[in-house]
Chain A
Amino acid sequence: MKGMNINMELYRLTAAELSRMIRNKEVSSTEVTKSVFSRIKAKENEIEAYVTLNEEGALKKAAEVDEKIARGETLSSLAGIPVGIKDNICTKGLRTTCSSKMLSNFVPPYNATVINKLEAADFVCTGKLNMDEFAMGSSTETSFFKKTKNPFDTSRVPGGSSGGSAASVACGEAIVSLGSDTGGSIRQPASFCGVVGMKPTYGSVSRFGLVAFASSLDQIGPFGRCVEDVAMLTSVICGKDPMDTTSVRREYPRFEDHLSTDVKGLRIGIPEVYFGKGVTEEVRQSVMKAAHQYEAMGAVLVPVELPQPDYALAAYYIIACAEASSNLARFDGVKYGYRSPNFTSLEDLYENTRSEGFGEEVKRRIMLGTYVLSSGYYDAYYKKAKFTQNLMQDMFRKAFTQADVILCPTAPDTAFKFGENSDDQVKMYMNDILTVTVNIVGLPAISIPCGFDSKGMPVGCQLIGDKFSEQLLLNTAFAYEKAVGGFDLSRTLA
């Protein structure tokens, strides 16, 4: 099994397959890691998924894992698997930029809790993945460093904000990856790049060390090329963290051990409003085809009523920007990060640092957040948005008495071209219209590929579950994956 050709193609395999092979000593972690880095060398010029590569560290870690295996140690299923990390998740000693000029030289002296968990599982860190600046965007175009390309069509965006996380997994520059999802930032790029991405229930994954965009909405989650990989990664990162008071203490199973394809009698809710305005016919058809596939497997489709997407989008932008305006205030040129060389007073230092260090989209959202919190506007915007959030939670509670899982498109359309939406913010924000609701109500949701449109771009189907129903979501996704014979990434992995 140690032929050159096989090694060169190890990057094409899933984490589940590689995990078995590494532990059966069919391949070494070093071979897998080298394969992924040779793939990176071949594709990175074109795709530009990474902000920072960690080749030396990755090979060192892979060698360590190989030694442990040689010594006969029992290792976690993720041991020796190359994982890419979104660049807003702090990695001790490895630059963490949030794709912003503001943090272009920031090296954290601490790990995010998810990184500590991955380290305990002996993962191999390939590097830090490109994103929209501070996770604000839906196309990864707002990155200060580079524009990541969609591996299906490099004239198109990979989605965002976790564009690097999705693109790297789709094209073999990482086996699996971590992203973060505040309003769809895992699910929408997963949908655009034809991979699986899950946003776990708010509170199931620690946010400690995730550079905050909107604290009450942010959640770290996994990307993979198959459901089992996503399940494996989710199992490692879930859990109560004493460092994050918003994380929830409960039992989190090893999801990959309980995967099942049985959907008989499963009630799948179809929210009509999420197939309506703005959703293209091709997307609608692909997603409904997936729904009928479930029906054919014994599930029952039931109509459910969900909050108006307009309400959700409004509440989302108010809450997210309000929190962001406060979370990003700490970037002031004093303690870390960029400091403008042009200042004579403290006020100058603040204003010039922040004006030069932040990109336009970030500044726009800081301004909006400042506005909705400012004296005289707080009640009309922020407070009202928070009450809308309660209203939406009630609607979902009711929906989940009628359905076990809700199915709808992940995004209204497939990946768009670079620059297509960059001049019209509202049009850009509409990309999030089907995903933000889930963040507002704190639910888990997964995006799985459900075919391609006529341009050959992948379509994503979103499955939304009740709080802490990750196992059911993964099982439902797994059933579809098995029924359609796996997700087709032959073009991007070639």
Chain B
Amino acid sequence: MDMDIKRLAKLAKLKFTPEEEEKYAAQMASIVAMVEKLPDLDASGPLIDPDNPMEFRKDEVAQNYRRDELIANAPEVQAGCIVVPKTVAEE
């Protein structure tokens, strides 16, 4: 199995010590061996389920929250906004 633990951790925004990395690599190897027991079948074509059509929502406004309720759980707030470390400009 060619699992790049470092790259996956980066994608998942997790950080591991070298020891943890080793442990995870071993554990993941046996888990992946388990999940590889899938039957041989043709898995081409799109994944779509036309038998479960969605009921759409009507375009009608409902305002149910006050700002203070929504940001009450935030770790850091300033001027009604949530605060994060300075971001480098992207998009």
Contacts and interface: CB of A to CB of B under 8 A. Distances in A.
Do any CB atoms of chain A lie under 8 A from CB atoms of chain B in the complex?
yes
Contacts of B84: 334, 346, 349
A348 B15 CA distance: 9
B61 interface: no
A367 B38 contact: no
Interface in B3-23: 3, 5, 8-9, 11-16
Contact of A335 (B12, B16, B57, B82): B82
Most buried by A among B9, B38, B69, B71: B38
Interface stretch (A79-87, A103-111, A220-228): A103-111
Interface in A333-348: 333-339, 343-348
Contacts of A317: 31, 34-35
Contacts of A337: 73, 75
B69 A387 contact: no
A230 to B, nearest CB: 27
Contacts of A106: 73
Nearest to B85: A346
A123 interface: no
A67 interface: no
B70 to A, nearest CB: 6
Given A349-B84, A368-B32, A371-B32, A336 B57 contact: no
A424 to B, nearest CB: 8
Contact of B14 (A314, A344, A366, A384): A366
A388 B28 contact: no
A343 B31 CA distance: 32
A472 to B, nearest CB: 22
Contact of A336 (B39, B43, B74): B74
Contact of B15 (A308, A352, A368): A352
Contacts of B9: 367
A314 B37 contact: yes
Contact of B38 (A107, A344, A384): A384
B58 to A, nearest CB: 9
A386 interface: yes
A370 B73 contact: no
A391 B39 CA distance: 9
Main secondary structure of the interface of A (DSSP, over half): helix
B31 A335 contact: no
Contacts of A336: 73-75
B72 interface: yes
A335 B73 CA distance: 7
Nearest to B54: A245
Main secondary structure of the interface of B (DSSP, over half): loop
A366 B28 CA distance: 11
A4 interface: no
Most buried by B among A338, A345, A370: A370
Interface string B40-84: 011100010000101101000000010001111111100000101
Interface string A312-354: 0111011000000100010011111111000111111111101
A311 B3 CA distance: 22
A354 B43 contact: no
A333 B75 contact: yes
Contacts of B91: none
B82 to A, nearest CB: 6
B12 A314 contact: no
A374 interface: yes
A350 B35 contact: no
A285 to B, nearest CB: 28
B85 A314 contact: no
A109 B28 contact: no
A245 B75 CA distance: 31
B65 A314 contact: no
Contacts of A338: 75
A315 B38 contact: yes
B37 to A, nearest CB: 5
Contacts of A315: 38
B38 A345 contact: no
B8 A370 contact: yes
A374 to B, nearest CB: 7
17 contacts: A242-B57, A314-B37, A317-B35, A334-B82, A335-B74, A346-B84, A346-B85, A351-B14, A355-B15, A367-B9, A367-B14, A368-B28, A370-B12, A384-B43, A385-B38, A387-B41, A425-B31
Interface of B: 3, 5, 8-9, 11-16, 24, 27-28, 30-32, 34-39, 41-43, 47, 52, 54-55, 57, 65, 69-76, 82, 84-87
Given A313-B34, A358-B14, A388-B38, 5 more contacts: A242-B55, A335-B71, A344-B85, A368-B32, A372-B35
